[in-house]
A and B are shown apart, each in its own frame.
Chain A
Amino acid sequence: MLEPVSVGLKFAFLAVLYLFLLWISRSAFNDLRRGAFGGPRAPVAADATGMHPASSLDVLDGDGSFSPRLVVESVPGLSRGMAYDVAEGATLGRGDVEIQLEDPFASSRHARLTRQGAILVIEDLGSTNGTYLNDELLRGPRPLHAGDRVRIGDSTFTFDG
């Protein structure tokens, strides 16, 4: 007697289900069409799996007169050519600092860049494995010049004045 109702309910069930799925997958496709997985503001992925610390990464050059940058030469998890803006100085290390290195040989607060007038000074913060400036172990604070190479563990940067 109620057989048609039962069949109707089955098709209604399937219809609701597919409409729901269509609605959700539309939003998924929109995400894919936008290209970047996170919209326009997402940082550029460093590798296929998109794993890299995105904190304070900035690929753009500043337009002002004083725009010193640390350019990534080879840093685990980051792609070559990315740059950190260090105009206001920065701390490098594995811990909660401006430039986070996912490098097992880096200390949590490894080295610091400080601005002194128009130059930047680099100093080691008593790290375990040391900081190398142009392949020389850094002892005490030293000024940075354009083209200098800074190495911490397996991470190498070039300073761009």
Chain B
Amino acid sequence: MTARNRELFALIPATLLVTAGFAAVFIQRDNLLSDVSLTYGAIFLALCLAAHLVLRMTLPDADPYLFPLVAVLASFGLVMLYRLDEQLAREQAQWFVVGLLFFTAAIVALRRDHRVLERYRYVIALGGILLLLLPRLGSPVNGAYLSFDLGPISFQPAELAKLAIVIFLASYLRDTRHVLVIGARRFAGITFPPLKHLGPLLAVWGTAMALLFVIQDLGSSLMFFGGFLALVYVATNRISFVLIGLGLFALGARALYAIRPTIESRVDAWLHPFDPELYEREIGGSYQIAQSIFSQADGGFFGQGFGQAIVQLGDNPPILPAAHTDFIYAVITDELGLMGAVAVLLVYLLIVERGFKTAMLATDSFSKLLATGLTAVLALQVFVIVGGVTKLIPLTGVTLPFISYGGSSIVANFVLLALLLLVSDRARREAAA
């Protein structure tokens, strides 16, 4: 079976999931078995087929499983959003169309050689940093500066900035990785990079810290800095650089924790979610995280079933706040149980596996680093939000890629997927030749 036929075949399960999911939601809500769910399934299939045809024409050798895995995540997202609010699902479907348009545009523009991105690295880096600073013009949401209102659309620049920063770092490290290794000194059993080249590393660390300080969001800065460390490790093969980086990040985060009240309240809510005083607190309390844990526990092994999770009762404050964005993972766990939640994580795990495999196959350093960086950032984003929702780390508001409601997230992640497929197409063609 050729790569593209494999991909076509793998799209069938995603379509079945959409149909079954919508049917179950219909039954639960209106107690009727309607053929409308088939219509939704058909529309979803048509969208996937359109993207599949684009890939068939432009990137015939690209990895066959990446797109179907993403389609499965998208079907999860659509079903869950439809179950929460019909209007949100409709908007999300429109965002998928926009995302697929960007996906196609990125592939067509870079189809000849994605390495032209290297030429614009400083422009891309500058754009990324400006994007990150943009939300400072607005007002904070829950104490963090993450979104920016662009007319009627609320826009999360961190999503696009992560692409810009990975592209820049991949291209920068391609040039400097040897300099970091040569002249490195061993001291007390740890390899330190040469002092004069420590500058750029410290600059990235400083940027991550500044980011933490400016947008006051631990999750995004952890995501960016973690992506950077993954790239440094792959570029230099020195685990010591990663350990030094993590140590610096921990120190910086500890220092900021002492100064910024927002971060402090997040950490308190994480450590003591069931403390009555924190639970009752109006702003910056632990209500969200405690409720998220309750609804996940409610899910059990196989879940309550589609449409059965209690998210809102009457006009009271929601039982599970922000269910369509930050806490969509908790809704999935509630309705499909441990089995469903593990399946979602497995889908991400397989995407990450395909991403790293693409990086292993790529022959030139820039492509290798680009694929590694994109995959690492995606994995860290999932870790940050799922870790937050399950109370493994302090909760911060990043989206669950391809599932959460949100236009900028969908668009940015589809561009990320396009870049991975571009690298994969070239690498697999060269490997087969």
Residue-by-residue, is A19-32 near B (CB-CB < 8 Å gives 1, otherwise 0)? 11101110110010
Interfacial chain B residues near A66, Cβ < 8 Å: none
Identify A10's interface contact among B16, B336, B432, CB under 8 A: B336
Q: Tell me, in angstroms, the Cα distance from A139 to B174 when the chains sit together.
A: 31
Q: How large is the interface on A (under 10, 10 to 19, 20 to 34, 35 or more residues)?
A: 35 or more
Q: Are A103 and B69 in contact, CB atoms less than 8 angstroms apart?
A: no
Q: Are B365 and A51 in contact, CB atoms less than 8 angstroms apart?
A: yes
Interfacial chain B residues near A48, Cβ < 8 Å: 237
Q: Are A103 and B178 in contact, CB atoms less than 8 angstroms apart?
A: yes
Q: Tell me, in angstroms, the Cα distance from A47 to B69 when the chains sit together.
A: 30
Closest to B176 in A: A104
Interfacial chain B residues near A23, Cβ < 8 Å: 10
CB distance from A85 to the nearest CB of B (A): 18
Q: Are A13 and B21 in contact, CB atoms less than 8 angstroms apart?
A: yes
CB distance from B100 to the nearest CB of A (A): 21
Residue-by-residue, is B420-433 near A (CB-CB < 8 Å gives 1, otherwise 0)? 00000000000110
Given contacts A9-B306, A14-B339, contact A24 B69 (CB under 8 A): yes
Interfacial chain B residues near A9, Cβ < 8 Å: 20-21, 23-24, 27, 306
> In this assembly, does B149 line the interface, its C-beta being within 8 Å of a C-beta of chain A?
no
> In this assembly, does B182 line the interface, its C-beta being within 8 Å of a C-beta of chain A?
yes
Interfacial chain A residues near B178, Cβ < 8 Å: 76-77, 102-104, 154
Q: Are A6 and B65 in contact, CB atoms less than 8 angstroms apart?
A: no
Number of residues of chain B lying within 8 A (CB) of chain A = 53
Interfacial chain A residues near B33, Cβ < 8 Å: 2, 5
Given contacts A5-B27, A24-B10, A49-B233, contact A16 B17 (CB under 8 A): yes
> In this assembly, does A143 line the interface, its C-beta being within 8 Å of a C-beta of chain B?
no
Interfacial chain A residues near B432, Cβ < 8 Å: 41
Given contacts A2-B33, A102-B365, contact A17 B27 (CB under 8 A): no
> In this assembly, does A146 line the interface, its C-beta being within 8 Å of a C-beta of chain B?
no
Interfacial chain A residues near B69, Cβ < 8 Å: 24
Q: Tell me, in angstroms, the Cα distance from A128 to B17 when the chains sit together.
A: 61
Given contacts A10-B24, A54-B363, contact A49 B350 (CB under 8 A): no
Q: Are B305 and A24 in contact, CB atoms less than 8 angstroms apart?
A: no
Interfacial chain A residues near B23, Cβ < 8 Å: 9
Q: Tell me, in angstroms, the Cα distance from A76 to B174 when the chains sit together.
A: 12
> In this assembly, does B88 line the interface, its C-beta being within 8 Å of a C-beta of chain A?
no
A13, A20, A39, A104: residue with the most chain B Cβ atoms closer than 10 Å: A13
CB distance from A139 to the nearest CB of B (A): 26
Q: Are B234 and A37 in contact, CB atoms less than 8 angstroms apart?
A: no
Given contacts A10-B336, A11-B302, A102-B365, contact A17 B72 (CB under 8 A): yes
Interfacial chain B residues near A60, Cβ < 8 Å: none
Interfacial chain B residues near A141, Cβ < 8 Å: none
Q: Are B24 and A6 in contact, CB atoms less than 8 angstroms apart?
A: yes
Q: Are A28 and B13 in contact, CB atoms less than 8 angstroms apart?
A: no
> In this assembly, does A12 line the interface, its C-beta being within 8 Å of a C-beta of chain B?
yes
> In this assembly, does A126 line the interface, its C-beta being within 8 Å of a C-beta of chain B?
no
Q: Are B234 and A49 in contact, CB atoms less than 8 angstroms apart?
A: yes
> In this assembly, does B246 line the interface, its C-beta being within 8 Å of a C-beta of chain A?
no
Q: Tell me, in angstroms, the Cα distance from A50 to B237 when the chains sit together.
A: 9
Interfacial chain A residues near B275, Cβ < 8 Å: none
Identify A21's interface contact among B32, B177, B346, CB under 8 A: B346
Selected A-B contacts with CB under 8 Å, 5 pairs: A6-B307, A10-B303, A16-B20, A21-B347, A50-B360
Residues on A facing B (Cβ under 8 Å): 1-2, 5-7, 9-14, 16-21, 23-25, 27-28, 31, 37-39, 41-42, 47-51, 53-55, 76-77, 102-104, 154
Q: Which 7 pairs show the lowest CB-CB distances between chains A and B?
A: A37-B360, A76-B178, A20-B13, A9-B24, A6-B27, A49-B234, A2-B27
